[in-house]
């Protein structure tokens, strides 16, 4: 038995990345930067506001959180809807109580079905970014480019119609991209994408059509990862976020501004038994002299203003 | 190993009692080594017939980006904490990292970390290689590490823990003294190979940060507590005969901002305790061989051989 000789050939074994999507950037080599008002840790909350059709699709893949049982899966269809009609409003109230703003990644189907949610989000000062069409709108290599572009355009234009302005940011379902996604996002006018988990800070990704900012929304710092996958309690989650905040605050004093992302799912965190701990976390972070609760767009604007 | 037999014949049975006393330098009871896996995963690797690299079509950017976090952020954060508390790394190295991120390798080398090979990439698996192919990756590893760091590798941890029946014989033939791929003991001991002397260096799957976080789903504080319990037990048992504790790490996991603080407390605890020989894997292997523990532990095992009467 032996492997094909090409298995021991390494055509991309060279300095730098094995692709052209961005260049290496070890953090000690980066120029320090500062957030507004002498704040040192930008806390970026991102909520995934999603609509799951009761008819799930598996191409390119079935979205996390999607239907599980044979049709009709009332259990998961309604539990996800619970997140939208109840959990999300608990989150909005918690943000208002703490006086903080968040970034809401919204499926276009939400704007079509429940337009009042869009007005509620905007009235309370949060940012909306595009998050595909609905939870059947997953992306991966193999999805034809024209279909992917149509999905991105439909998501953008549906939200723009409801918002009155174009969304500036994008997050793919499950953060899953194809080889084409960053270029299509540039071509369709997006300023930043929230899919890559390889950094703590914004950086510039490159495509054949120009550059796009990659905003850090680490999947590890999320209720989906910690609660749905790792089965931690909400108290364990808030402890981890506080530990991260403390560590980043110390680093920021030495090296310049840091970002603490936390991705929240309405049907996970927005349950009655989790909300007290979540509100206590928001209160603690908002009470710190170091924290700047910022939307993705605010972080990108501040960062770009300093990187020239 | 004995290919296709029920017992691969990797080592002899040696129960955990009445063993030769292994003594570590300065009367320490447990040799503690920290093993950062400095890795490069390819975004679009060729397919190995026996193992898939990424769950989704390439580019599978979440798992790929997660691992790339190591070379942008995690390594630097982890290394600073290790250095602060006096822990040198014993690096399980994807040797192509020497080409892709020479700054990471140079940084680790300047800190006096030891390097051993973890294959070319962690997305190229040994399954299915013929002998010439396996020799090629071993020779590539030796040369690449020597060119980049001046070090001659003494050990091997198979790429993504993928083996062939001949791996251990080959690394011994090329002069390596230890393998990190066998998990049968908390002390080093002889491994059967065709020629030369190879020892098993206790690494760990069970307290590997990947297992801690994604198999046992521990919180960062639970993982830190687990490492301290592991240390306390091995330090106490090491009074009878010196033990080894390895802390295998991936900086894309331990170097996350929510994990590094609790982990630092582990290093602080071990460094302050006084019973730990805080060292590197190659130094443990050198000490073990230089003090004739290879023969002494083999003699222990011989007492239990079926034909020993």
Q: Does residue A240 belong to the interface with chain B, where contact is any CB pair within 8 Å?
A: yes
Mutation to test the B interface, candidates A5, A182, A220, most B Cβ within 10 Å = A220
CA angle B230, B231, B233 (to 5 degrees): 70
Report whether A243 contacts B220 (CB < 8 A). yes
- Chain A residues 186-225 within an 8 A CB cutoff of chain B: 195-200, 218-221
A169-228 residue pLDDT tens:
999 999 999 999 999 999 999 999 999 999 999 999 999 999 999 999 999 999 999 999
Residue with the two structure tokens 């208002």 = A96
Mutation to test the A interface, candidates B43, B54, B60, B65, most A Cβ within 10 Å = B65
The residues near A122 (Cβ < 8 Å, ≥ 6 apart) are A128, A163
Mean pLDDT of B283-304: 97
What pLDDT does A307 receive?
87
* Interface contact flag, B256 A236, Cβ < 8 Å: no
Residue of B nearest to A181 (CA): B59
- Chain A residues 5-34 within an 8 A CB cutoff of chain B: 6-8, 10, 12-19, 21, 24-29
What pLDDT does B42 receive?
98
Q: What percent of chain A has pLDDT over 70?
A: 100
A55-68 residue pLDDT tens:
999 999 999 999 99
Give, for A12, the enclosing helix (H) or strand (E).
none
Dist. CA A61–CA A51, nearest whole Å: 16
Give, for A276, the enclosing helix (H) or strand (E).
helix A272-286
Which of A175, A246, A260 comes nearest B62 by C-beta? Answer: A175
What pLDDT does B309 receive?
52
B117-149 residue pLDDT tens:
999 999 999 999 999 999 999 999 999 999 999
* Interface contact flag, B121 A10, Cβ < 8 Å: yes
Mean pLDDT of A267-271: 98
According to the 3-state scheme, what is the secondary structure of A235-259? HHHHHHHHHHHHHHHHHHHHHCCEE
Dist. CA B12–CA B90, nearest whole Å: 27
- Chain A residues 62-81 within an 8 A CB cutoff of chain B: none
* Interface contact flag, B129 A232, Cβ < 8 Å: no
Mean pLDDT of B168-196: 98
Dist. CA B160–CA B122, nearest whole Å: 5
Of A245, A228, A243, A255, nearest in space to A289 by CA: A245
Q: Is the pLDDT of residue A308 over 80?
A: no
A135-151 residue pLDDT tens:
999 999 999 999 999 99
* Interface contact flag, B221 A239, Cβ < 8 Å: yes
Where do the domains of chain B lie? 25-308
Is the dihedral angle over the CA atoms B186, B187, B188, B191 positive or is it negative?
A: negative
Q: What are phi and psi of A262, to 5 degrees?
A: -145, 120
Dist. CA A154–CA A171, nearest whole Å: 14
Mean pLDDT of A103-110: 98
Report whether A105 contacts A46 (CB < 8 A). yes
Dist. CA A204–CA B183, nearest whole Å: 43
Which chain B residues contact residue A174 at CB under 8 A? 62
Which of B59, B104, B120 comes nearest A179 by C-beta? Answer: B59
Mean pLDDT of B256-265: 98
* Interface contact flag, A244 B62, Cβ < 8 Å: no
What pLDDT does B308 receive?
62
How confident is the prediction for chain B on average, in pLDDT?
A: 97
* Interface contact flag, B258 A179, Cβ < 8 Å: no
- Beta strand pairing status for A169-170 and A192-193? parallel
Which chain B residues contact residue A251 at CB under 8 A? 77, 257
Q: Which CATH superfamily is domain A33-307 in?
A: Glycoside hydrolase/deacetylase (3.20.20.370)
* Interface contact flag, B61 A3, Cβ < 8 Å: no
Spell out the CATH class of B25-308. Answer: alpha beta
Mutation to test the A interface, candidates B257, B259, B261, most A Cβ within 10 Å = B257
Q: Is the pLDDT of residue A1 over 90?
A: no
A276: left (phi over 0), alpha (psi -120 to 50) or beta: alpha
Residue of A nearest to B136 (CA): A8
Q: Which two tokens stand for residue B148?
A: 């980049």
- Residue A142 to chain B, least CA–CA distance (Å): 8
* Interface contact flag, B73 A199, Cβ < 8 Å: yes
Residue of A nearest to B65 (CA): A198
Mean pLDDT of B193-205: 97
According to the 3-state scheme, what is the secondary structure of chain B? CCCCCCCCCCCCCCCCCCCCCCCCHHHCCEEEEEEEEECCCCCCCCCECCECCCCCCCCCHHHHHHHHHHHHHHHHHHHHHHHHCCCCEEEEECCCHHHHCHHHHHHHHHCCCEEEECCCCCCCCCCCCCHHHHHHHHHHHHHHHHHHHCCCCCEECCHHHCCCCCHHHHHHHCCCCEECCCCCCCCCEEECCCCCCEEECCCCCCCCHHHHHHCCCCCHHHHHHHHHHHHHHHHHHCCCCCEEEEEEECHHHHCCCCCHHHHHHHHHHHHHHCCEEEECHHHHHHHHHHCCHHHHHHHHHHCCCHHHC
B5-60 residue pLDDT tens:
999 999 999 999 999 999 999 999 999 999 999 999 999 999 999 999 999 999 99
* Interface contact flag, A196 B65, Cβ < 8 Å: yes
Which chain B residues contact residue A199 at CB under 8 A? 69, 72-73
B52-96 residue pLDDT tens:
999 999 999 999 999 999 999 999 999 999 999 999 999 999 999
* Interface contact flag, B76 A27, Cβ < 8 Å: yes
Dist. CA A173–CA B276, nearest whole Å: 47
């Amino acid at each position: 038995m032996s492997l094909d000789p090409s298995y021991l050939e390494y055509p991309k074994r060279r300095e730098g990345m094995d692709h052209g999507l961005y260049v290496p950037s070890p953090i000690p080599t980066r120029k320090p930067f500062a957030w507004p008002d002498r704040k040192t840790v930008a806390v970026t909350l991102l909520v995934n506001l999603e609509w799951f059709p009761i008819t799930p699709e598996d191409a390119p893949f079935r979205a996390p959180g999607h239907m599980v049982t044979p049709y009709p899966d009332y259990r998961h269809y309604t539990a996800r809807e619970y997140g939208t009609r109840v959990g999300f409003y608990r989150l909005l109230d918690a943000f208002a109580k703490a006086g903080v703003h968040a970034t809401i990644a919204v499926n276009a189907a939400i704007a079509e079905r429940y337009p009042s949610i869009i007005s509620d989000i905007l009235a309370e000062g949060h940012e909306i970014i595009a998050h595909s069409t609905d939870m059947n709108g997953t992306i991966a290599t193999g999805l034809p480019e024209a279909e992917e572009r149509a999905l991105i355009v439909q998501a953008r234009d549906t939200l723009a119609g409801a918002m009155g302005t174009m969304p500036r940011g994008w997050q793919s379902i499950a953060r899953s991209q194809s080889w084409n996604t960053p270029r299509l996002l540039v071509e369709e006018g997006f300023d930043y994408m929230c899919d890559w988990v390889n950094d703590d800070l914004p950086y510039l990704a490159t495509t054949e059509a120009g550059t796009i900012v990659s905003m850090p929304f680490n999947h590890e710092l999320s209720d989906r990862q910690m609660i749905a996958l790792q089965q931690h309690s909400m108290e364990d989650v808030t402890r981890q976020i506080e530990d991260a905040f403390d560590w980043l605050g110390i680093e920021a004093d030495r090296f310049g501004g840091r970002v603490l992302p936390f991705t929240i799912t309405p049907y996970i965190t927005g349950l009655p038994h989790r909300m007290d701990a979540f509100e206590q976390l928001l209160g603690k972070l908002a009470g710190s002299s170091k924290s700047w609760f910022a939307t993705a767009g605010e972080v990108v604007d501040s960062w770009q203003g300093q990187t020239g | 190993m004995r290919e296709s037999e029920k017992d691969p014949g990797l080592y002899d049975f040696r129960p955990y009692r009445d063993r030769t006393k292994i003594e570590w330098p300065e009367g320490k009871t447990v040799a503690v080594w920290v093993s950062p896996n400095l890795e490069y995963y390819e975004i679009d690797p060729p397919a190995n017939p026996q193992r898939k690299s990424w769950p989704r079509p390439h580019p599978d950017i979440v798992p790929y980006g997660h691992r790339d976090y190591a070379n942008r952020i995690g390594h630097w954060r982890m290394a600073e904490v290790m250095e602060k508390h006096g822990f040198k790394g014993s690096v399980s190295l994807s040797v192509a990292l020497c080409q892709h991120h020479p700054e990471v390798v140079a940084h680790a080398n300047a800190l006096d970390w030891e390097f051993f090979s973890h294959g070319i990439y962690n997305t190229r698996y040994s399954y299915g290689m013929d002998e010439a192919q396996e020799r090629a990756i071993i020779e590539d590893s030796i040369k690449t590490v020597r060119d980049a760091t001046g070090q001659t590798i003494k050990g091997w941890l198979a790429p993504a823990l993928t083996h062939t029946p001949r791996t251990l014989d080959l690394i011994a033939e090329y002069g390596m003294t230890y393998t990190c791929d066998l998990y049968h003991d908390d002390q080093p001991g002889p491994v059967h190979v065709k020629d030369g002397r190879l020892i098993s260096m206790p690494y760990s799957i069970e307290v590997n940060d990947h297992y801690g976080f994604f198999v046992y789903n521990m919180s960062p504080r639970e993982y830190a507590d687990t490492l301290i319990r592991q240390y306390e037990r091995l330090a106490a048992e090491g009074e009878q005969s010196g033990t080894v504790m390895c802390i295998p790490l991936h900086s894309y996991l331990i170097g996350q901002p929510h994990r590094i603080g609790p982990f630092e407390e582990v290093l602080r605890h071990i460094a302050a305790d006084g019973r730990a020989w805080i060292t590197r894997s190659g130094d443990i292997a050198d000490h073990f061989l230089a003090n004739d523990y290879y023969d002494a532990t083999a003699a222990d095992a011989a007492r239990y051989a079926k034909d020993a009467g």
